């Protein structure tokens, strides 16, 4: 009930303001469990996708959204619970992965829709990155639920990093046909199977989204970008220091020449 109330309260204004377009709604089953595997461009992805669906879809979110103290923290927790988010403690990588898998299985066993971002984090530059095989593949094989590839379109342009006020524009959602992985049933411990299943889903997402595919994890790409930014900043600092030293040396040289002429 709370989900429905929050969907009306949030979904109505979102639809009115941004008018998201959607293709492939017929691929969402009217009932029964299914996994929605989506690319991840923006914080808003978890809001725009549920807005266009008649059924409830549950995503996982970091536990900090649910445990922040104070009035603001309680309101934030209520908001995320209301829009179908489940808290997962990400302090330990392995523990977080197991918690996400357990949460996904529980949602699907109730016959509901479970949403997951195989990249594991938002794309740092709008490209599609390698999917992590643990969560998506293991949940799919443990439950036998079909995997429905989803592509979010242009959501990263609505509120780019550093922008406070969102840009009013039409994002899009493309929903692909369900993928059946029953041929891999009972093979959830085979890492090659997990990799193959994940890669197949990512390929379908790439076709739907039209994104350039990068065969590294988004987390690694973010580290590379951060390292490059740090190196650039250090190089800029070194260049400024060199220029300052050169100016100082020139000033001292000119001073010495003046003193020599005065003698």
Tell me: do 37 and 155 sit in the same domain.
yes
- Helices H / strands E in the chain, number of each: 9, 9
Sign of CA dihedral 118, 121, 122, 125: negative
Tell me: do 75 and 145 sit in the same domain.
yes
Tell me: do 154 and 225 sit in the same domain.
no
Tell me: do 109 and 239 sit in the same domain.
no
State the pLDDT at residue 6. 66
State the pLDDT at residue 93. 53
Which residue, 214, 230, 247, sits at the end of a domain? Answer: 214
Tell me: do 124 and 150 sit in the same domain.
yes
Report the domain count for the chain: 2
Tell me: do 97 and 19 sit in the same domain.
yes
Do 144 and 185 contact (CB within 8 A), yes or no? yes
- Nearest-5° angle of CA 253, CA 254, CA 255? 90
Tell me: do 171 and 223 sit in the same domain.
no
Tell me: do 156 and 246 sit in the same domain.
no
Quote the tokens at residue 231.
């190196």
Do 124 and 216 contact (CB within 8 A), yes or no? no
Tell me: do 152 and 232 sit in the same domain.
no
Tell me: do 205 and 226 sit in the same domain.
no
pLDDT in tens, 48-91: 998 899 999 998 876 666 666 776 667 666 666 666 677 666 55
pLDDT in tens, 107-152: 999 999 999 999 988 999 999 999 998 889 999 999 999 999 999 9
For residues 75 and 77, give the distance between their C-alpha atoms in angstroms, rounded to a whole number. Answer: 5
Tell me: do 10 and 67 sit in the same domain.
yes
Which residue, 192, 214, 236, sits at the end of a domain? Answer: 214
pLDDT in tens, 147-197: 999 999 999 999 876 777 888 999 999 999 999 999 998 898 899 999 999
Q: In angstroms, what CA-CA distances link 125 with 119, 149, 189, 215, 225?
A: 13, 20, 33, 14, 10
Tell me: do 45 and 96 sit in the same domain.
yes
Which structural domain, as residue segments, surrounds residue 250?
218-263
Specify the 3-state DSSP secondary structure of 242: helix
For residues 25 and 162, give the distance between their C-alpha atoms in angstroms, rounded to a whole number. Answer: 33
The H or E element spanning position 205 is: helix 191-209
């Amino acid at each position: 009930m709370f989900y429905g109330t929050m969907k009306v309260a949030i979904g109505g204004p979102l639809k009115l303001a941004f008018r998201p377009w959607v293709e492939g709604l017929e691929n969402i089953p009217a009932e029964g469990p299914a996994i929605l595997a989506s690319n991840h461009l923006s914080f808003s992805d978890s809001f725009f996708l549920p807005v266009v669906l008649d059924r409830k879809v549950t995503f996982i979110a970091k536990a900090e959204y649910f445990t922040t103290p104070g009035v603001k923290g309680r309101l934030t927790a209520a908001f995320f619970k209301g829009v179908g988010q489940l808290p997962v403690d990400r302090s330990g990588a392995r523990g977080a992965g197991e918690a996400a898998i357990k949460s996904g299985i529980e949602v699907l066993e109730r016959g509901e829709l479970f949403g997951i971002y195989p990249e594991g984090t938002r794309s740092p530059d709008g490209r599609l990155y390698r999917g992590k095989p643990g969560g998506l593949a293991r949940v799919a094989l443990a439950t036998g639920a079909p995997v429905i590839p989803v592509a979010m379109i242009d959501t990263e342009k609505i509120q780019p990093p550093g922008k406070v006020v969102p840009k009013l524009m039409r994002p899009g959602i493309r929903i692909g046909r369900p993928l059946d992985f029953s041929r891999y049933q009972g093979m959830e411990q085979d890492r090659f199977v997990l990799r193959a299943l994940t890669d197949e889903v990512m390929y379908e997402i790439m076709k739907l989204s039209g994104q350039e595919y990068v065969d590294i994890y988004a987390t690694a790409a973010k580290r590379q970008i951060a390292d490059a930014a740090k190196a650039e900043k250090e190089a800029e600092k070194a260049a400024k220091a060199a220029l300052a030293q050169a100016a100082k040396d020139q000033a001292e040289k000119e001073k010495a020449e003046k003193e020599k002429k005065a003698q």
